Amino acid sequence: MKTAARRAALLSAPAAEQANTAAPPKPMRSRVSPGVAAGRLRKRVAPEYPQKARDNRIQGTVVLKARISTEGDVAELWVVSGDPALAAAAIEAVKQWKYKPFSLNGQPVEIETTIQVNFTLSG
C-alpha cells in the first residue's frame, strides 16, 4: 500500500518539483568530418616521435576518434588504428589540441571526429 501511495505522490507532483530531481541535459553531439574539424583547429601540438619506434624504424598513421567539448577542448580519445608504438605519442599530442568551439543553430555542441597523426622518418 505504501508503494502505491508513493507512486501516486510522484505522479501528482508538480512539474517544477520533478524538474529539480532530473539530471541536467547532456550537450548535443554532432559528427564532423576530419576536414571541417581541422579547419577549426586553433592550437596543434606535434607529437614527439617515440625513441623506441625511431630505433626500430616504425612509421605509419595513427587514427584517433575524438570527442571535442563545447569549449573546444579534446575531451576523449580512442585509438581506431595504428601501431601501438606510436599511439601513445599521438594521444599525448592530440589531447593538447584546442579547437574553435562548434555550434549548431546557435547552440554549443560537442562533436565527434576522426584525427590522423602521421609518423614519418626521414633518410
From residue 101, how far is each of 13, 37, 90, 106 by CA, in Å?
39, 10, 22, 11
Q: What is the pLDDT of residues 21-80, one digit of tens each?
A: 565 556 677 899 999 999 999 999 999 999 999 999 999 999 999 999 999 999 999 999
Tell me whether residue 85 is in a domain: yes
Tell me whether residue 7 is in a domain: no
The total of structural domains in the chain comes to: 1
User: Is the pLDDT confidence value at 18 over 90?
Assistant: no
From residue 107, how far is each of 24, 25, 29, 45, 104 by CA, in Å?
16, 13, 11, 28, 5
Q: Phi and psi for 98 in degrees, rounded to 5?
A: -135, 135
Mean pLDDT to the nearest integer, 2-19? 48
The DSSP output letter for 44 is -
pLDDT number for residue 29:
76
Mean pLDDT to the nearest integer, 11-23? 50
Tell me whether residue 78 is in a domain: yes
Tell me whether residue 68 is in a domain: yes
Residue 16's pLDDT band (boundaries 50, 70, 90)?
A: very low
pTM for the full model? 0.75
CATH number, domain of 93, equals 3.30.2420.10
Q: How confident is the prediction for the chain on average, in pLDDT?
A: 86
Q: Domain residues for 59? A: 23-119
